[in-house]
Structure 1
Amino acid sequence: MTEIVDYELFEVPPRWLFLRVETADGTVGWGEPVVEGRSKTVRTAVEELLDTYLLGEDPSRIEDHWQTMYRGGFYRGGPVLMSAIAGIDQALWDIKGKQLDVPVYELLGGAVRDRIRVYQWIGGDRPSDVAEQAREQVDAGFTALKMNATEEIERVDDPATVEAAATRLREVREAVGDEVDIGVDFHGRVTKPMAKRLVEKLEPYEPMFVEEPVLPEHNDALPTIAEHTTTPIATGERMYSRWDFKEVFEDGAVDVIQPDLSHAGGITEVKKIAAMAEAYDVAMAPHCPLGPLALAACLQVDACSSNAFIQEQSLNIHYNETSDVLDYLADPSVFDYEDGFVQIPDGPGLGVEIDEDHVREQADGDVDWHNPVWRHADGSVAEW
């Protein structure tokens, strides 16, 4: 039996945390455990889990390790713990695939596809210049885009705000035509009364989906919002386990789930969430505005999940101002996009090779990203 003998954590720009796990036979597995803006908190959780449960253990018992990390603590769930588990889980699968010399998807039943469609972000945090950016991305070969619906928005806002959101989507639709899909992200910024108005106003321009129309703590409002549109409803980036997703499957309001492979328990858990979704005829588009390890983990699950239909990725996203996805890869061509698709990486483990020297160099700097705190005109905190 080989055993886990060491691990290291690297906070790297723009806002990522990488985990390196090493076994006694020299195999190295990588994962990406992070909550954007809370990397130091998650780092401590990862250290606690590895020191308490995994050092000295056989890395191949992935399901048992997952259950131990999750159920071994009386208090469980939530973004910090589940993100810590997720990154460790990714690293364990990377190790297992490398030791058996196969990609992870081969260990999960084999591939149902050779490649998957990806979408590209446009417009930034406060959406602007969306039509021109949309044209540029379509010219670059993307066939699907995503944009924020609004900037900060009041609990009950004026008609001009609703009209501005509709105008932005209309301009993008007119710029790219009907053969390009456009996802619209409400980002949890919108309250139930405004979400009802917005989904009706956006519907004529046929968005691919409206994402997180309300915060996940208000998922009970999704059936009401769904009654106001035929546009697919998407949510899930701030839901962390199959138990969080159970309610939205049962009430039937959600059409697309978006679990994050670095937040929702990793490969082990998201494969189970995908299977649950399939039973309810719900599609999957994993959330991934993160780094190369998170994306590689997503693609391994996409490869063997028949209900996965499109993949988020963060190349050139507005958050990546100092470093980008490809900077940390020894072979960036693994994420070459062609005709709006990316091939499923077929190398062993996660299928990507990390440039470890570059990671160590970047980790020497000060990385302290936090999302902005927005405020309404009256000074109260707005949802970002």
Structure 2
Amino acid sequence: MKITDVKIIVCSPGRNFVTVKIFTDEGLTGVGDATLNGREKAVVAYLQEHLAPLLIGRDPSRIEDIWQYFYKGAYWRRGPVTMAAIAGIDTALWDIKAKAANMPLYQLFGGASREKVLCYTHAQGTDIAEAVEAVGKRIEQGYKAIRVQVGIPGLPDVYGTGKKSVTNNAADDAFPHEEVWSTSKYMRHIPKLFEAVREAYGPDIELLHDTHHRLTPIEAARLGKDLEFARLFWLEDTVAAEHQEGFRLIRKHTTTPLAVGEVFNTIWDARLLIEEQLIDYIRTTTVHAGGITALRRIMDFASVYNVRTACHGAMDMSPICLGANLHLDLWVPNFGIQEYSGYLPEILDVFPSAWSLSDGYLHPGEATGHGVDIDEKLAEKYPYQRAYLPVNRLEDGTLWHW
């Protein structure tokens, strides 16, 4: 079997997505997600100009060699653009391999380690009462684990709480929206949120919270300690993740479980965190960590140190990424949880998927390959719209982490 063509498809059915589709001379095709939110066209150029031409004529079954060729073969390694591009190709190649074997992808990894995949979803509000109500609605929908975010008194809408649409909007998002942040106001308010949620729903529902890299290590340590009463499933992305050593300080002062890694691109970004058991969950995901080939290595490495997996699963990664993650989730022995923020109906129409959700659990399905495809004709109806993630500033105007 040989690769005959590679197509890069960009569409925006509510969010921008970059999809790699690989064709073979035996009629098998595979698709992979290469989306990098806010920098989509940079990945498209990397694929079209530098990687796709080098695939023509290659044997698609030699996934490992192709991955190494694109990673080691470039003097300038790593980084979000490079690894998203490699991920799109790698995921498409695994899709082809599983189709050629006539089995669902997880069977190629060694089969299932569980019957279903626990997921968590999001609940938020502009104030505590609204957030508590949102948690109740998620519980009614069957979710067993819920990430809770709330607006901060004295600040405009902050990450994860605003009324702003989740879709790309050329008028609103063509330039970055600026948010305002105050760590001190946040630190005083968040314990009150979880006091209210626990009072309303008791100790059995699993609760998570995302700080989105906005604290210093000692601030994160204090917050983790202040939230120990709530027995969170985890506290996520407490500090800017480039400084792995900072987690040593956090770990000394709190027993609240820690999760990080959605912005990581390689195993090197998480090596120290995993080796020293400074985190409990690694949040790397297929599209951002270099594809299935690379993510399997991270998962196996984490298992040696009792770190569990928790793939990032926000809406700015396509259903292809979620499908690939779910096959890994079903297989991996040290699975922890899978994020599922849901998708707009238009997105699900463009990306028909075999995976399913029931009573707070996901399953990748039994279709051959990873079970997700793209409707190219329908995708054409949703052209790319330039859109950016927000920019964050402190109240005095200082640019801060978002």
TM-score between both structures, scaled by the size of structure 2: 0.87
Post-superposition Cα deviations, 1:254-305, rounded to whole Å, max 9, x if no partner, equal 1111111110011111111110000111111111212200100101111210
| Matched residue, 1:164 | 189
Whole-angstrom distance in 2 between the partners of 1:203 and 1:356: 48
Q: Which residue of 2 aligns with 1:379?
A: 397
Show the counterpart of 1:338: 358
Residue 237 of structure 2 is aligned with which of 201, 208, 212?
212
Structure 1: gaps (5+ residues): none
Contact 1:153 1:190 in 2 (8 A): no
| Whole-angstrom distance in 2 between the partners of 1:61 and 1:102 | 18
Distance 2:191 2:236 in 1: 15
Identity across aligned pairs (percent)?
33
Distance in 2, Cα, partners of 1:245 & 1:374: 25
CA distance 1:35–1:330, shift in 2 (3 Å): closer
Q: Could you list the per-position Cα deviations for residues 9-47 of structure 1 after superposition, in whole angstroms to 9, with x for gaps in the alignment?
A: 223231322222211222221111121111111111222
Amino acid at match of 1:186: T
Q: Which residue of 2 aligns with 1:296?
A: 323
Deviations 1:28-76 (A, max 9, x none): 2111112111111111122234334212211111000000010000110
1:138 is aligned to 139
The answer as to 2:204 corresponding to 1:179 is yes
Counterpart of 2:400, as a letter, is A
Distance of aligned partners of 1:203 and 1:41 in 2 relative to their CA distance in 1, 3 Å threshold:
same
Q: 1:252 aligns with which of 266, 277, 281?
A: 277
Measure the CA separation in 2 of the matches of 1:135 and 1:280: 35
Superposed, 1:88-127 pairs within 5 Å as: 88-123=89-124
Which residue, out of 309, 314, 330, partners 2:341?
Answer: 314
2:10 matched to which residue of 1?
10
Cα distance in structure 2, aligned partners of 1:195 and 1:126: 22
Q: Deviations over 1:300-335 (max 9, x none)?
A: 11121011121112205xxx6xx665232335xx34
Number of the residue aligned with 2:348:
326
TM-score (norm 1): 0.91
Over 3 Å counting, the alpha-carbon distance change for 1:200 and 1:350 in structure 2 is: same
Greater CA deviation, 228-237 or 17-26?
17-26
1:73-121, CA deviations, whole angstroms, 9 ceiling, x for partnerless residues?
0110111111111111111111111122111111111211221011111
2:253 corresponds to which of 209, 228, 231: 228
SS at match of 2:387: coil
SS at match of 2:212: coil
Q: Counterpart in 2 of 1:305? A: 332
* Alpha-carbon contact 1:27-1:98 (below 8 Å) kept: yes
CA contact (8 A) 1:328 1:354 kept: yes
Aligned to 1:287: 312
Structure 1 residues 90 and 56: alpha-carbon distance in aligned structure 2, compared to 1, 3 A threshold:
same
Deviation per residue, 1:231-276 (Å, 9 max, x gap)? 1111111111122221111222111111111100111111111100
The aligned amino acid for 1:9 is: I
Deviations for 1:197-228, whole angstroms, at most 9, x for unmatched residues?
21111111111001111111122110110122
SS of 1:76 mapped into structure 2: coil
**Aligned match of 2:64:** 63
Number of residue pairs matched by the alignment: 372
Query: Structure 2 counterpart of 1:330, which letter?
Result: P
Go from structure 1 to structure 2 and tell me whether the alpha carbon gap of 1:148 and 1:45 turns closer, same or farther (over 3 Å shift): farther
Structure 2's unaligned 5+ residue stretches are: 153-157, 159-179
**In structure 2, what is the equivalent of residue 38 of structure 1?**
39
CA distance in 2, matches of 1:129, 1:44: 43
Which residue type is aligned with residue 20 of structure 1?
K
Moved over 6 A (4+): 124-128
